[in-house]
Chains A and B, each alone.
Chain A
Amino acid sequence: MNCSVFKTMMPDYETESLPGTTRLKWEEHLKSCAGCRLEWEEWMKTARLLDLHEEIEPEADFMPRLYVKLAMEDRKPRPESGVLPWFLAFPKAGMAIAGLLLVLGITWFAWSGLLQHNTPVPAVTQAAVSAPAAISEKHVADLKNFAGAGNNLLPEKIPAYNAEETPLEKVFAYDEFGNIGIDLVGEKDIAQLILDENRR
């Protein structure tokens, strides 16, 4: 056994956890090596001095004080599951994830904005801004007639036109090809149809 292995095994020897043969080899080295004898002596002296760090006893009121705190704990409304307990337990990790989500969100918004900027805006929307004045109540009547003639547009999907509730430009619009569109604003089931102006 060399000095390095001897030193590594000092705590094992101290706790009497060395197997028989190893223990004998360790003790033989102790007898033959003055340097390791000194090491061992200082190891044990250190251990002895550490014993001065005495145990303490819990205060007499340890349990009553704990009962009070536990009773308060029982009264606290606490979510049994979800992300909040986890967030409270690991606030730094929670903040990091929240930050990451924020950055991803901002990136997504910026990216989608860029896409919208580069993608041609649907013609109907463009037309809605540019040509609302070309729409009249007559178009509503025409559209109802068109629906009533057995075409795909269901008559009940066409609301009664009320200029105050639904501005005209929100109901009809022309696209860049001269097609008329309808957006049934205010309906739960919003249908958007593009009608061929020529067919009208």
Chain B
Amino acid sequence: MDDDALTIDRFKNGERRAFDDLVIKYRKSVLNLIYRFTGRQDEAEDMAQEVFIRLYRSLKDFRGESSFFTYLYRVTLNLCFQERKKRAKAESRMSPEEDLEKIPSAATPHGEAETREARETVIKAVRGLPPDQRAVVILFRYHGLPYREICDILKIGMGTLKSRLHRAHASLKEKLRPYMEDMEIPTGTEVDADEL
């Protein structure tokens, strides 16, 4: 039995503190999952609280058929999808200027206006993806989850997952192309340039 399962057992046995432990452990992940999905920091905080309230209501019925982590991310994304539907009309009526106002100010050092602009473009590009592709990119890129776990959370097959990931990346690449010109060849996992 993993740590989360033990904590949930404590909660089911009436120990309220166990729920706090879960919130403290996962609040940042949940908050950032929502933030990257919605692109809105101010709303992300309230939505993250709503996730934990839903969790509080449902945790007694949690039977551990999937890991708690998978369950929590599923609850979070379900809320994101619901909110997106609710606000789809409002967003379509919103002008680009209003849209930008919703993006929080970057904590970039003085003189990095270009980076700030790129950052805002990235946020808008991610937010502009279809929800199913957006969820895959966020879970893969920002939460570093393995394929299998993403499949479990979104209840999709491996082929669907890879297809969504590639389509999302292709779309993001086109939107971010203007910022790629001055970038150096990335280092890290790629093949050493001397070998090429």
Q: Which residues of A pack against B, CB within 8 Å?
A: 7-8, 11, 13-17, 27, 30-31, 37, 40-50, 52-59, 62-63, 65-66, 69-70, 73, 78
Q: Is B130 an interface residue (CB 8 A)?
A: no
Category for how many chain B residues contact A = 35 or more
Report the separation of the CA atoms of residues A65 and B118 in the bound assembly, to the nearest whole angstrom.
Answer: 34
Whether the pair A27, B118 counts as a contact (CB closer than 8 A) is no
Report the separation of the CA atoms of residues A54 and B166 in the bound assembly, to the nearest whole angstrom.
Answer: 22
Q: Is B186 an interface residue (CB 8 A)?
A: yes
With both beta carbons as reference points, the residue of chain B lying nearest to A53 in the complex is identified as B122
Given A30-B191, A45-B186, A58-B28, does the pair A53, B119 have CB atoms closer than 8 Å?
yes
Given A50-B122, A50-B172, does the pair A56, B141 have CB atoms closer than 8 Å?
no
Report the separation of the CA atoms of residues A49 and B121 in the bound assembly, to the nearest whole angstrom.
Answer: 10
Whether the pair B49, A62 counts as a contact (CB closer than 8 A) is yes
Interface of A is mostly: helix
Chain B residues with Cβ below 8 Å from A50 are 122, 126, 137, 141-142, 172, 176
Whether the pair B189, A37 counts as a contact (CB closer than 8 A) is no
A48, A66, A73: the one contacting B23 at CB < 8 Å is A66
Whether the pair A31, B195 counts as a contact (CB closer than 8 A) is yes
With both beta carbons as reference points, the residue of chain A lying nearest to B29 in the complex is identified as A55
25 pairs, CB–CB < 8 Å, chain A vs chain B: A8-B162, A16-B189, A27-B191, A31-B196, A40-B190, A43-B169, A44-B185, A44-B190, A45-B183, A46-B173, A47-B141, A49-B176, A50-B122, A50-B126, A50-B141, A52-B118, A53-B122, A54-B107, A55-B28, A55-B142, A56-B44, A57-B28, A58-B27, A62-B49, A63-B20
Report the separation of the CA atoms of residues A177 and B196 in the bound assembly, to the nearest whole angstrom.
Answer: 109
Whether the pair B45, A53 counts as a contact (CB closer than 8 A) is no
Report the separation of the CA atoms of residues A86 and B60 in the bound assembly, to the nearest whole angstrom.
Answer: 16
Whether the pair B183, A73 counts as a contact (CB closer than 8 A) is no
Chain B residues with Cβ below 8 Å from A7 are 166
A44, A53, A78: the one contacting B126 at CB < 8 Å is A53
Report the separation of the CA atoms of residues A158 and B27 in the bound assembly, to the nearest whole angstrom.
Answer: 76
Report the separation of the CA atoms of residues A47 and B53 in the bound assembly, to the nearest whole angstrom.
Answer: 34
B53, B180, B185, B195: the one contacting A49 at CB < 8 Å is B180
Chain B residues with Cβ below 8 Å from A58 are 27-28, 31, 45, 48
Name B38-88 residues within 8 Å CB distance of A. 41, 44-45, 48-49, 52-53, 56-57
B46 to chain A, nearest CB (A): 9
Name B6-51 residues within 8 Å CB distance of A. 19-20, 23-24, 27-28, 31-32, 35-36, 41, 44-45, 48-49
Q: Is B123 an interface residue (CB 8 A)?
A: yes
Chain A residues with Cβ below 8 Å from B28 are 55, 57-58
Q: Mark B160-196, 1 if CB is under 8 A from A, else 0.
A: 0010011001001100100110010110111100011
Report the separation of the CA atoms of residues A31 and B195 in the bound assembly, to the nearest whole angstrom.
Answer: 8
Which 6 residue pairs spanning A and B have beta carbons closest together? A44-B186, A52-B119, A45-B180, A52-B122, A46-B173, A49-B176
Whether the pair B172, A56 counts as a contact (CB closer than 8 A) is no
B118 to chain A, nearest CB (A): 6
Q: Mark B86-100, 1 if CB is under 8 A from A, else 0.
A: 000000000000000
Report the separation of the CA atoms of residues A19 and B180 in the bound assembly, to the nearest whole angstrom.
Answer: 30
Chain A residues with Cβ below 8 Å from B176 are 45-46, 49-50
**Known A57-B28, A66-B23; further 20 A-B contacts with Cβ < 8 A:** A8-B162, A16-B189, A17-B146, A40-B190, A41-B185, A52-B115, A53-B119, A53-B126, A53-B142, A54-B106, A54-B119, A56-B31, A56-B104, A58-B48, A59-B45, A63-B24, A66-B52, A69-B49, A70-B53, A78-B57
